[in-house]
Structure 1
């Protein structure tokens, strides 16, 4: 069987593009609708859509910038490509000056199209592909040292746009999934991971950090969805805390290569946990 191409238009910490062959045995063989409350780069969703053809797909995240970018890729991809080409031209002319001028913009004051182009431009040119915000919600990653960053990616964007045509996109906290998912639905959770060691986690995708209490709430949501007859799968860190939270469920360890991390020691191959209720 031909390998499924998994396109992505953003770099994202914890992206699952390289893990699909390891994940394949863990996906349920049959389900109705697909939900992903921490969509990130969308790698798993794009694989699921092409492999299983769910009747409905719901992708969400609390990161407004990310979901807006998904919306624009879905609805206005050609105009987005034009704007990204302009960003690339300006960046190549004077990368440092241009990068910090664009970073300084307030995205909330921009129209959706310009906001999405800004988000993608910064994501493709910032240091190590990080998406990090400060307590005020302002993107604060410095420029990366790329000579010719891949800013436009027009073919990938067009493919992703087609994959998103029948997808529902929402800015939504993960616990709201309890109001939407029903018996027979498949939900994949890919939260910001519980840290392997204190201070080594990377959870600043939004100004609201994902801490221990959020992981405990997620475990409760996982249990409640299981009681509703939903098929649930989660990726998280291979730590005692996570093993204890999900002690009633199936847990398997996979090896993952991590390239995006604030700390260089957090890159390279690490163990990750795959949790399922089936």
Structure 2
């Protein structure tokens, strides 16, 4: 049976509870016109902040990411939101608490989610980044009069995540599982701030060119099986050659990487849409 793809639940759509680098809240209005009105399952293998999932509100969803701490946080929001809120409510935003939380490595899954949310909310520019040793290495952002969390937002997200599958894994697993009538949205790590000459070198540290080619092949395979596939990516000639059988749509947004709003510039990205 094919389930309706949009407006599946009558309650107010929750906002993402995490700010994530490369988040796609800004893209939803454009993407909404490209999403089929009916589809079976929804796959999002680069979940990040989940902006498209929360906007789309599909009844059947398989959400995944290769980041185990990120996916654990989603699982705790879904399954243990009261405990999560209680843990967050005991924390204050200051440098001493920030340094203490950053230097902990809890084994308890709820405590790990508390740590993840706290650091992502209080780190500079809302970034969650680890070094090659897996240690969080973003400096404290300062007080900035920000809220650490909103109980209502977390509970709304918990409601939306009920009965959705949450997995840790490589994107290949999700794309290989998609079948005819499914919808896939892929938002791999990439940068839009370098030209064609610098793109390959710069992105090796984010998402290698080998990964890009692997993603394009798996996306094409899924489309040939009858799935709807949409991929966000950098707008470069190198990337365009990977998707010859997809429509390429150019979308624009303001860069969010500068600390000063007046120095952020307009950048462009590609949306690759399968012709299923």
TM-score by length of 1: 0.87
2:28 is equivalent to residue 20 of structure 1: yes
Q: Distance in 2 between matches of 1:48 and 1:151?
A: 25
- Once superposed, what is the RMSD of the aligned Cα atoms? 2.6
Distance 2:160 2:41 in 1: 15
Q: 2:48 aligns with which of 40, 44, 64?
A: 40
Secondary structure at 1:105's aligned position in 2?
coil
**1:237 to 1:145, Cα distance in 2 relative to 1, 3 A:** same
Paired with 1:46 and 1:120, the residues of 2 have a C-alpha distance of 18
Matched, 1:259 2:256: yes
1:78 aligns with 2:82: yes
Contact 2:251 2:271 in 1 (8 A): yes
> What's the CA shift string for 1:140-176, capped at 9, x where partnerless?
1010023322112111101000000011000010011
**Residues 1:171 and 2:168 aligned together:** yes
Question: Quick check: 1:6–1:17 contact (8 Å CA) kept in 2?
Answer: no
Alignment-derived partner of residue 154 in structure 1: 151
Given that residues 192 and 267 in structure 2 are in contact (C-alpha distance below 8 angstroms), is that contact kept between their aligned partners in structure 1?
A: no
Picking from 227, 230, 237, the partner of 2:227 is 230
Q: Distance in 2 between matches of 1:97 and 1:21?
A: 41
1:219 maps to which of 202, 211, 216: 216
Structure 1 unaligned spans of 5+:
none
Which residue of 4, 9, 34 corresponds with 2:17? 9
Question: Is there any run of 5+ residues in structure 2 with no aligned partner, and where?
Answer: 1-6
Structure with more relative contact order (C-alpha pairs < 8 Å, separation 6 or more) = 1
Q: Classify 1:36/1:220 alpha carbon distance in 2 versus 1 (closer, same or farther; 3 Å).
A: same
Contact 1:193 1:201 in 2 (8 A): no
- Deviation string for 1:67-101 (max 9, x for gaps)? 0000000011111111111113xx3xxx1121111
List, as ranges, runs of 4+ consecutive aligned residues in structure 1 with deviation greater than 6 Å. Answer: 261-266
**Structure 1 match to 2:186:** 189
